[in-house]
Structure 1
Amino acid sequence: MPHDAFLPGLCASLSKRSLLGAGLLALLCAVAPAQAQAPRNYATLAMVAEPQTLDPMASTADLVGTIMQHVYETLYTFDGKWNVVPMLAESMPKISADGKSYAITLRKGVMLHNGRELNADDVVASLQRWIEQSPRGKAVGKEIDSLKAKGPLNVELVLKEPYAPLLAQLALPSGMAAIMAKDSIAQPLTNFVGTGPYKFKERKPDQYVLLTRFDKYSARKEPASGYGGKREAAIEELRFVPVPNASTRVEGALAGQYDYADLLPVEALPRLEKSGGKTVPIMTPAFGFPYLVFNTREGVAASQPERQAIQTALGEGEMLAAGFGDNRFFVAEGNHFPKGSPFYSTAGTELYNQRNAPKAKEMAAKAGYKGEPIRVLTSRQYDFHYNMALLMAEQLKRAGFKVQLDVVDWATLVQRRNDPKLWDIYVTHSGQFPEPMLSPPQLGDDAPGWWNTPAKKAALQAFNLESDPARRGALWGKVQQVVYDEVPYVNVGKFNGLSAKSPALDNYQPATWPFFWNARIK
């Protein structure tokens, strides 16, 4: 029991005894309020699950990126308007006239958590590991001809062909191109040595991941903007606590147990709004999009005609309503990028939200469907995933499909989706980013789902070779059309995120991957 919890009872007991007791009472009870009000400098952050790994390259799961972006940094990052800006790089790279060669200069005097300065060898070793280990890195690695250190603080990256998304890929926190100390690199990664404002201290599985302030952190000088600019570890300790049950996260937020509670169910909003200041609801606009990934390698979904039949059966609008309820939280539209984006396109959208069970049944019969169960892999860690999966199962049953709903914890889902023998569709979501090649991972070749066709390769090659933003916008429409035709995944729609913070957590900035540098405990 904490000593300040036991003092009030002791004070009450002493007050009934001797004058000596009364004197001791006065002394203790004068001290007790001061101890009870002693300032704290840690934050308790309720996350949706136990991270299956702390290796930021080993998984594209948002949870891993959210935690480890405090420990590791990237060469480039995104500002508040999703522009790519330098982080560990001193400035934007010098790019050759043919668009193939990138000369990158590192900031001088950046300290690693092991006490030495970051150098170009660390960067090259880190990026080589990313290319070998990360699903995103593997996709980018196919575009790279060479990667070399050119002196203590200079790196040269040469591409086989121009690749417009390169810097955005290097900036993403998910499946991160994390820069780490060369001598810490191992497989599996057990020593987490980065350059971030926080350093790894301890992990107790199913209890917490503890990060502490890095006192020798080398911050940028520019004003903070999004993930870019100056970062300061104003809070001494960050405690990331796995709280898989969404209702428990809500109740903990209302009780003041958490300084931050991530991804809350939308039906909790009225209670959060009426908490009387005990907690503050946070809506993150255009947070992301849920999507369904199809196993194109094995099982029922390996057949393109059967995937097309499934797509015809789906009513994405109903699924979004089931997942989010309140229409302030979702938009049902088939364009993958919103109006106003350079990548807005209506290509293929006549195949969105069809909800046509008779037609789907007819298509499935022509495709040779023989009543095999469609194994839908989902998790209750993300409440909206599970609710959408339930409704999707009913839509598919109406079209004559047999459905097997496999509900597992998120870490198990992330593990199982790597085995094509275990599932046909899995439910997930992605942040809504400004660069199409950042999400979903299915646009790469190696992500679970394993979509890799001539039409995909041709559309993406034309898109990625083009650096002019206006021309890339038109070329994205052709990629979107291939997605609707081949159905490697289904973009369900768009949603806003709901989370909550305590009044004590000051200067928190809502973000797709929540970050807590520059935040303070009042």
Structure 2
Amino acid sequence: MKMLRKAILAAACTAGLAIAAPPAVAQTTLRVVMHSDLKILDPIWTTAYIVRNHGYMIYDTLLAQDEKGAIKLQMVEKYETAPDNKSYTFTLRDGLLWHDGQPVTSEDCIASIKRWAVKDSLGQKMMTFVDSIAAVDARTFTIKLKEPTGLVLLGLSKPSSNVPFMMPKRVADTDPNKQIEDFTGSGPFVFVKDEWKPGDKTVYVKFGKYKPRAEPASGLAGGKVVKVDRVEWRAISDAQQTVNALSKGEIDFVEAPSHDLLPTLKKDPNVTVFVSPLAKNQYVFRPNTLHKPFDNPKIRHALWYAFNQEDFLMATIGDENYIKPCKALFICDTPLASTKGTDGLLTSNAKKAQELLKEAGYDGTPVLLMHSTDLKVLTNLAPVAKSLMEKAGFKVDMQSMDWQTLVARRAKKDPPSAGGWNAFLTSWVAADVMNPISTAYVNAGCDKASFGWPCDEKLEKLRDDFARETDPAKQKAIAEAVQLRVIEYTPEIPVGEWVAPVAMRKNVKGYLTSPVPVLWNVEITN
């Protein structure tokens, strides 16, 4: 039997499979329920957070932000900035390997940066400053700029969707508008594709050849030390069933427990409810500017009067301890927060909205509003929007679907009558929406913009100004100008802020304070 085991391991190594030697003791499995089922696997193709979470399991990043938001080295060993601030030279850490055993190279990273930058709002803007990205040798590459900008380090350390995950060149060469089919990463976990069963479970195993940094883990930075052998994401859509499974010890961790069940969990002596200070979120209404009626900015603008944030927040979260009405586009209590231009807005002034619709020539074209039904924190958003819009004089065709179907459909530019859409609501973690560059829905770059495809030269000029500016006071002034233009042009509408606790068994230790739920550093104790 021992001879057979050795032969199997030898064959696996010969085939280039990056597997760890079997542990001498029983495997430790962390059983997790995430906020959504995983059906899409390309974290560059979509901004969906469940796919971002999957990305952090199997991929790594060149730079990363710690729990205080400071930019730290990750895959990079060192970097140098030219005296004129128009060139960066990055050197990778020695010993970085892909899951197939091949070394990570500069060419891999260059291809990954380029693919990410096509899809990501911050990446797109960063690349307008880039003159060239070129390999110096297998572990060193340069980014040369046309003019100085702070977006390079900010972009390569971007903590949330889209994250600039590094992939092998053969994978990163995939058309950014097509999904990848090879899921080889270099991160702390390996995706076990053969055990992936959408609607049931997703499996990851520890990558035995991963080389963590020496620094302690902090946020998304530092040493990604894996302390379990196997992680299983269990697909349980029913909130009560999820809580019951956690209480019984059938699962170990819940990313997004239902807010109305938190009192029950807090009473359980075997469960810890944890609220990360980085887990603030913003609800957003996103109109599609390509098709009637929201191809008319004056019609879109009426929504600022039709909506109010309290209705959205109470219908979804329902607990005042976890919600905050906030009209600031760039998140309350952050450096760029402002309420400039928001007086009288988001007050459910149906009469004012009706007047604006009449002035704009609204002809009764129905708004096809996509309604996500399977994520508790999103489910009641669309019905609230429908009610408020109808009071304002809109006709609304609300179509229900699960979140993954919505994610796929929102990428379509077809007219609503041909499988397209007019509007949907979603939520962004605060780390994604704290400035005009990273906030994806402020990108008004036409076809290069995110789904909804706003096209506005004034917004893009302001975003360029922000990217060039380094003085915080001047950045604040530009951010306020962006907010005023967003109110006028309406590529999005913020409809309230909320926080999302996680819940775990008390024998689960080491969960990190981060804007993203990450599972390295987590261990199961006796």
Q: What is the distance in 2 between the residues matched to 1:426 and 1:48?
A: 18
Q: What is the distance in 1 between the residues matched to 2:379 and 2:76?
A: 41
| Equivalent residue, structure 2, for 1:18 | none
Q: In the alignment, is residue 361 of structure 1 matched against residue 354 of structure 2?
A: yes
Q: In the alignment, is residue 498 of structure 1 matched against residue 484 of structure 2?
A: no
* Cα pair 2:368 2:423 within 8 Å, conserved: yes
The Cα offsets for residues 169-209 of structure 1, whole Å up to 9 and x where unpaired, read as 22234222111222454644222222211112222222222
Aligned positions of 1:5-20 closer than 5 A: none
How far 1:319 moved relative to its partner?
1.4
The Cα offsets for residues 185-234 of structure 1, whole Å up to 9 and x where unpaired, read as 46442222222111122222222221111111111111211111111110
The Cα offsets for residues 28-57 of structure 1, whole Å up to 9 and x where unpaired, read as xxxxxxxxxx96501111123232321221
Question: CA 1:250–1:300 in structure 2 vs 1: closer, same or farther (change >3 Å)?
Answer: farther
Structure 2 SS opposite 1:349: coil
The worse-fitting range, judged by mean Cα deviation, of 227-236 and 329-338 is: 329-338
* Cα pair 2:444 2:457 within 8 Å, conserved: no
Q: What is the distance in 1 between the residues matched to 2:229 and 2:385?
A: 45
Q: What is the distance in 1 between the residues matched to 2:291 and 2:330?
A: 30
Q: What is the distance in 1 between the residues matched to 2:366 and 2:329?
A: 29
Q: What is the distance in 1 between the residues matched to 2:472 and 2:260?
A: 39
* Cα pair 1:147 1:156 within 8 Å, conserved: yes
AA matched with 1:437: I
| Equivalent residue, structure 1, for 2:515 | 512
Which of residues 198, 201, 208 is equivalent to 2:192? 201
Q: In the alignment, is residue 472 of structure 1 matched against residue 481 of structure 2?
A: no
Q: What is the distance in 1 between the residues matched to 2:349 and 2:45?
A: 39
Q: What is the distance in 2 between the residues matched to 1:155 and 1:520?
A: 36
Q: In the alignment, is residue 415 of structure 1 matched against residue 408 of structure 2?
A: yes
The worse-fitting range, judged by mean Cα deviation, of 181-190 and 140-149 is: 181-190
The Cα offsets for residues 247-304 of structure 1, whole Å up to 9 and x where unpaired, read as 4333332332221112222111111112232x32222335211101111111211111
* Cα pair 2:442 2:486 within 8 Å, conserved: no
AA matched with 2:482: V
How far 1:154 moved relative to its partner?
1.2
Q: In structure 1, list runs of 5 or more residues that go unmatched.
A: 1-37
Which of residues 75, 88, 91 is equivalent to 1:102? 88
| Equivalent residue, structure 2, for 1:72 | 59
Q: In the alignment, is residue 147 of structure 1 matched against residue 133 of structure 2?
A: yes
Q: What is the distance in 1 between the residues matched to 2:235 and 2:38?
A: 8
Question: CA 1:272–1:63 in structure 2 vs 1: closer, same or farther (change >3 Å)?
Answer: same
Aligned positions of 1:79-478 closer than 5 A: 79-91=66-78, 93-132=79-118, 137-172=123-158, 173-185=160-172, 187=174, 188-202=179-193, 203-277=196-270, 279-285=271-277, 286-338=279-331, 340-420=333-413, 421=415, 422-433=420-431, 434-443=434-443, 445=445, 446-478=449-481
The Cα offsets for residues 2-50 of structure 1, whole Å up to 9 and x where unpaired, read as xxxxxxxxxxxxxxxxxxxxxxxxxxxxxxxxxxxx9650111112323
Question: CA 1:139–1:255 in structure 2 vs 1: closer, same or farther (change >3 Å)?
Answer: farther
Q: What is the distance in 2 between the residues matched to 1:374 and 1:307?
A: 11
Q: What is the distance in 2 between the residues matched to 1:182 and 1:359?
A: 54
* Cα pair 2:74 2:213 within 8 Å, conserved: yes
The worse-fitting range, judged by mean Cα deviation, of 301-310 and 343-352 is: 343-352
How far 1:136 moved relative to its partner?
5.5
Structure 1 SS opposite 2:107: helix
* Cα pair 1:90 1:106 within 8 Å, conserved: yes
Which of residues 34, 40, 47 is equivalent to 1:53? 40
Q: What is the distance in 1 between the residues matched to 2:377 and 2:190?
A: 33
Q: What is the distance in 1 between the residues matched to 2:296 and 2:133?
A: 39
How far 1:390 moved relative to its partner?
1.5
The Cα offsets for residues 332-359 of structure 1, whole Å up to 9 and x where unpaired, read as 0211345552212222222532210011
Structure 2 SS opposite 1:492: strand
AA matched with 2:192: K
* Cα pair 1:43 1:235 within 8 Å, conserved: yes
Q: In the alignment, is residue 488 of structure 1 matched against residue 491 of structure 2?
A: yes
Q: In structure 2, list runs of 5 or more residues that go unmatched.
A: 1-24
How far 1:313 moved relative to its partner?
0.7
Q: What is the distance in 2 between the residues matched to 1:385 and 1:349?
A: 25
AA matched with 2:181: T
Q: TM-score, normalised by structure 2?
A: 0.87
Q: What is the distance in 2 between the residues matched to 1:484 and 1:227?
A: 33
How far 1:135 moved relative to its partner?
6.2
AA matched with 2:141: V
| Count of equivalent residues | 483
Q: What is the distance in 2 between the residues matched to 1:246 and 1:312?
A: 34
How far 1:393 moved relative to its partner?
1.4
Question: CA 1:287–1:167 in structure 2 vs 1: closer, same or farther (change >3 Å)?
Answer: same
Question: CA 1:199–1:351 in structure 2 vs 1: closer, same or farther (change >3 Å)?
Answer: farther
AA matched with 2:428: S
AA matched with 1:120: S
AA matched with 2:87: S
Question: CA 1:351–1:293 in structure 2 vs 1: closer, same or farther (change >3 Å)?
Answer: farther
Question: CA 1:297–1:517 in structure 2 vs 1: closer, same or farther (change >3 Å)?
Answer: same
Structure 1 SS opposite 2:57: coil
Q: What is the distance in 2 between the residues matched to 1:200 and 1:136?
A: 28
Structure 2 SS opposite 1:437: coil
Q: What is the distance in 2 between the residues matched to 1:224 and 1:330?
A: 29
The Cα offsets for residues 453-473 of structure 1, whole Å up to 9 and x where unpaired, read as 021112111111112333212
Question: CA 1:296–1:224 in structure 2 vs 1: closer, same or farther (change >3 Å)?
Answer: same
Bigger Rg, structure 1 or 2: 1
Structure 2 SS opposite 1:378: strand
* Cα pair 1:73 1:88 within 8 Å, conserved: yes
Q: What is the distance in 2 between the residues matched to 1:298 and 1:335?
A: 27
Structure 1 SS opposite 2:521: coil
Structure 2 SS opposite 1:128: helix
How far 1:365 moved relative to its partner?
1.0
AA matched with 1:317: E
Q: What is the distance in 1 between the residues matched to 2:495 and 2:226?
A: 37
How far 1:59 moved relative to its partner?
1.2
The Cα offsets for residues 432-460 of structure 1, whole Å up to 9 and x where unpaired, read as 02544223344263200111202111211
Structure 1 SS opposite 2:304: helix
